[in-house]
Amino acid sequence: MAENTKQKVKGRFAPTPSGRMHLGNLMCALLAWLSAKSQGGSMVLRIEDLDRERSLEKYRTLLIEDLDWLGLSFEEGPGENGPCAPYDQSRRYPIYEQDYRRLLPRIYPCFCSRAALHAASAPHLSDGRVLYSGVCRTLTEQQRKERMRLRAPAYRIAVEDTVIGFTDGVQGWYQASLAQECGDFIVRRADGVLAYQLAVVLDDARMGITQVVRGRDLLSSTPQQIWLYQLLGFSVPEFYHIPLLTDPEGKRLSKRDLDLDLGILRQTYRPQQLTGMLGYLCGQLPMPQPITPAELAQRFDWAKVPRQDIALPRSLLSDLSKL
Ligand SMILES: [Zn+2]
């Protein structure tokens, strides 16, 4: 393909403002940014605030500040900044509705309680997820009407019996049977909130995202998302599922690990030190050394990013404990 007809790379970082960013979130933002920038592309900052109860304005403000502090700039988003505005999910409902309507022939209400879904008799997958039995798919209109009076349903999409595979930029080939490993999945929750699985596809497609960089924990939900892309006639982006950060014992970090949130990290490190630390952990530098994201982008190479989860060195944690 000639260079001038090649699609321009557009990446994105899409955090949920439900807490201060931690080191793992920052690593994801940095890798997405480095990938796009090293290929001459642009970046979108999208705020995933569909869950209004968990999302707080103060965290939205802080995450924008923290990204800016590290030196990550975004060509589009958040808020109204760019041609695909708004970039905050809570304000995109009118846009979602158009695509949601196109899926309606496959969507049905599910009245199952949480307890029923997780009953011991439900088929469990090897990773602990529960496969939905499809029991509500065959309810008659009359049965649906009766149950509607008792409880607000969630809405599921009926999947096809097909296998979806793709080559992940970090993890390699991955495939799953939609019917046997995903099952009919929820596209709208009982409280009316659009499910993450659907919103993320609609946003990435409508914002013209060409590469998605996110945590390895989302790898198993990618086949169903690719299927949604195909169903709606969207072109499928490239996926890069990156390793997760763990503590030195291999336990995954979470937002509860407050000692690694940006509020604390910013008291100890300068942005270039933190970038160098992350660059080292991601295989881009032989040892931690101060560097800017723009400098790191010049030498960025996906082939050097490890597939396996990354354990934080004890020295990093002991630096922080001296505070
Ligand atoms: Zn059901």
111 C-alpha to ligand 1 centroid (Å): 5
Distance 143 CA to ligand 1 centre (A): 12
Which of the four pLDDT bands, split at 50, 70 and 90, describes residue 121?
confident
Asked whether residue 120 is domain-assigned, the answer is yes
Q: Tell me the mean pLDDT in the region 33-37.
A: 98
46 plus 71 within the same structural domain = yes
- Calculate how far, in angstroms, residue 295's C-alpha sits from the geometric centre of ligand 1: 52
| Residue 260: per-residue pLDDT | 81
Write down the pLDDT at residue 201.
98
Q: Residue 280 sits in a domain of what CATH number?
A: 3.40.50.620
The predicted structure's pLDDT at residue 52: 87
pLDDT at 141 over 70: yes
Which CATH number belongs to the domain containing residue 147 in this structure? 3.90.800.10
Domain boundary among 142, 167, 199: 199
Query: Is residue 85 located within the same domain as residue 151?
Result: no
Provide the 8-state DSSP code for 85: -
Question: Residue 248: what pLDDT?
Answer: 83
Quick one: 128 and 165 in the same domain? yes
Q: Is the pLDDT of residue 55 over 50?
A: yes
Q: Are residues 33 and 124 in the same domain?
A: no
> Each residue of 61-77: pLDDT tens digit?
999 999 999 999 999 99
Same domain, 60 and 105: no
Q: If 0-12 CB within 10 Å is exposed, 13-18 middle and 19+ buried, where does residue 136 land?
A: buried
Residues 6+ away with beta carbon under 8 Å from 229:
201, 205, 235, 236
Which residue among 143, 178, 199 closes a domain?
199
Question: Is 233 domain-assigned?
Answer: no
User: CB burial class (10 A; 0-12, 13-18, 19+) of residue 33?
Assistant: buried
pLDDT tens for each residue of 206-265: 999 999 999 999 999 999 999 999 999 999 999 999 999 988 888 877 656 556 889 989
Range name among 50-59, 64-73, 177-186, 258-267 with the lowest pLDDT average: 258-267
For residue 117, report the distance from its CA to the centre of ligand 1, in Å. 8
Q: In this model, does residue 320 exceed pLDDT 70?
A: no
Residue at 220: amino acid letter = S
Q: How far is the CA of 142 from the centre of ligand 1 (A)?
A: 15
Q: How far is the CA of 131 from the centre of ligand 1 (A)?
A: 11
The verdict on residue 27 lying in a domain is: yes
Let me know if residue 205 belongs to a domain: no
Average pLDDT (132-150) is 95
Has residue 179 got a pLDDT over 80?
yes
Q: Has residue 312 got a pLDDT over 90?
A: no
Residue with tokens 């996110």: 214
Average of per-residue pLDDT across 178-190: 95
Ligand 1 centroid to 42 CA: how many Å?
A: 41
Joined together, the tokens standing for residue 89 give: 């999910």
The answer to whether position 103 is within a domain reads yes
The verdict on 45 and 64 lying in the same domain is yes
Q: How far is the CA of 140 from the centre of ligand 1 (A)?
A: 13
CA of 184 to the centre of ligand 1 (A): 9
Ligand 1 geometric centre to CA of 104 (Å): 17
Q: How confident is the model at residue 313 (pLDDT cuts 50, 70, 90)?
A: confident
State the pLDDT at residue 116.
81
Which element (helix H / strand E) includes 81?
Answer: none
Q: Kindly report the average pLDDT of the chain as a whole number.
A: 92
What's the CA-to-centroid distance between 105 and ligand 1, angstroms? 17
pLDDT of residue 150: 93
Whole-prediction pTM: 0.93
Please check whether residues 124 and 105 belong to one and the same domain.
yes
Note the pLDDT of residue 223. 97
Same domain, 193 and 102: yes
Q: Residue 302 pLDDT > 80, yes or no?
A: yes
Q: What percent of the chain has pLDDT over 70?
A: 94
Assess whether 102 and 193 both reside in one domain: yes
Question: How many separate domains does the chain show?
Answer: 2
Q: Considering the domain boundaries, does residue 16 fall inside one?
A: yes
Q: Are residues 102 and 191 in the same domain?
A: yes
Residue 135 Cα, ligand 1 centroid: separation in angstroms? 5
Q: Is residue 24 part of a domain?
A: yes
Instruction: Give the pLDDT confidence score for residue 250 in this predicted structure.
Output: 83
Residues 111 and 38 in one domain: no
Q: Which residue, 199, 230, 256, sits at the end of a domain?
A: 199
Q: Which domain holds residue 108?
A: 96-199
Q: How far is the CA of 134 from the centre of ligand 1 (A)?
A: 6
Looking at the domain assignment, is residue 215 inside a domain?
no
The Å distance, Cα 306 to ligand 1 centre, comes to 40
User: What span, in angstroms and rounded, lies between the C-alpha atoms of 145 and 11?
Assistant: 44
| Mean per-residue pLDDT, 267-278 | 93
CA of 156 to the centre of ligand 1 (A): 8
Distance 89 CA to ligand 1 centre (A): 27
Same structural domain, 194 and 104: yes
Is 1 a residue whose pLDDT tops 50? no
Contact between residue 257 and residue 316 where contact means Cβ atoms under 8 Å apart:
no
* pLDDT greater than 90 at residue 86: yes
Cα(157) to ligand 1 centroid in Å equals 11
Cα 108 to middle of ligand 1, angstroms: 9
For the chain, what percent of residues have pLDDT higher than 90? 78
User: Residues 33, 38, 40, 43: what is their CA dihedral angle, to the nearest 10 degrees?
Assistant: 0
